[in-house]
Amino acid sequence: MAPQPPEPLIDLLNDALVETPPGRSIWVALSGGLDSSLLVTLAAEVCKRHQRPLRALHVNHALQPAAEAFEAHCETLCAALDVPLTVDRVTVERHGEGLEGAARRARLDAFGRHVPPGDTLWLAQHQNDQAETLLLAALRGSGIRGLAAMPYRRDWQGITLLRPWLDVSRQQLADTANTLALDWCDDPTNQDLGLDRNRLRHRVFPALEARWPEAQRGLAQSAQHAGEADQLLAAYAGEELQTLTHADGSFDAVVLGRRDRPRQRLLVRAACQQAGLPTPPRQRLETLLDQLSAGRDAQVRVTWPGAEARVWRHCLYLMPPLTDLPLWQTAWDGQPGLMTPLGPLTLALDTQRPVILRWRQGGEVIRLPERGRRDVKRLLQAAQLPPWQRERLIMVMQGSECLGVIEPPGTLLWGAEGATFDGRATQQGSA
């Protein structure tokens, strides 16, 4: 094995520094293995030279006896490098997922807890990891976004996730680590062939490389091409979605329904991604698309983990899943900040005696300025408020008299004649 100088890897880290605004910190996700130990070692050199703040984050999953040794190694390494280290000991809860997926979600949760928005987190994934990710995605039957595998850069919850060495082979990293006489921990679970990624690494890729020596590089390059195509499709879909979007954020289901099926799939997935929602599995997506042409008064609802879609009055709504409402009513003194099942109320009501807040039950009547008594039900119908939103409205009641209709946390839809919300007497019949 020829000595491998670190300069090519340092050059990539210098390029990565540009992605972090001045004054913001760079973090390294440090597992204690070869790749991340080398990354934090060279990052310390680069950040010191450019006077950029550097921190490390170790997530202890507590899934194996060696977990404590990994944590101790990270502490020793960061102390030697004078890099502040944050350790998060997490509990991996599977929730029907595989162990690898659950551990990945636990890591992401830890990133969100500790890395402030605006900072950058460097990840040590490399070319071999990219090739494995693409092949796993292909075996699952993933679309182009899955085949794009891991992006070089991803903005997530205000944090920039960056993989500076995504085009570097693991062999180059190992040669450099040995040249530097670096210490690291070998994960014993990496030999467990019951894990899909390990089976690819130890059984499948050696066979592929025996026939195609550049297999991993070629697969990683294919992932890059897929990523570029995915970005282009997302840009085209975003432009088209603008022509389908209504003022309330819903989409024109009639026009969408006239598109061919592949285009419909692209647009719905793109709309979910824009809204930060998980995209529907293929079968759920097909069920939704089949119902875009539902009648005007039909109430279509299609759910999948983390999201749901509704079609009503020829409009498509995409949203986080709505939880069932508890039985609830409470007295209110008119001051803002009262906690409701849908969050704290931000409105204030000028009242000399307490009122009752409760969900709409039906039959409520409100006396509107210059309009007289009106059924709340008919007001909601005229306003074309979707049925699932009507169920989540709060009625402000004083005895049998309705003083206001509130959409939490603080939108007054209608206020009764003489009622004063937020210091303003109701002048109009609707907000």
What are the sequence ranges of the domains in the chain? 7-212, 245-319, 329-422
Walking along the chain (431 residues) 10 residues at a time, the average pLDDT comes out as: 77 94 94 96 96 95 86 96 94 74 86 95 96 94 91 92 96 95 89 87 94 94 95 95 95 96 96 92 95 89 94 95 92 92 91 89 90 92 90 92 91 90 54 43
Give whole-number Cα distances, 64 to 36, 68, 162, 187, 328, in Å. 19, 9, 28, 9, 46
Asked whether 288 and 302 are in contact (CB, 8 A), the reply is yes
Domain 7-212: what homologous superfamily? Answer: HUPs (3.40.50.620)
Please name the residue that has the structure tokens 């419909």. Answer: 264
> Quick one: pLDDT at residue 64?
82
Determine how β-strand 159-162 pairs with β-strand 120-122: parallel
Whether residue 397 contacts residue 365, with contact meaning beta carbons closer than 8 Å, is answered with no
- CA–CA gap between residue 18 and residue 185 (Å, rounded): 30
Instruction: Give Rg (Cα) of the chain.
Output: 28
Nearest residue to 41 via CA among 73, 1, 89: 73
The confidence score (pLDDT) of residue 429 equals: 43
CA dihedral 277→278→281→284, nearest 10 degrees, is -30
Torsion of CA 382, 383, 389, 394, to 10 degrees: -90
C-alpha angle with apex 386: 380 to 389, nearest 5 degrees? 85
Structure tokens at 192: 């467990």
CATH architecture of 245-319: Up-down Bundle (1.20)
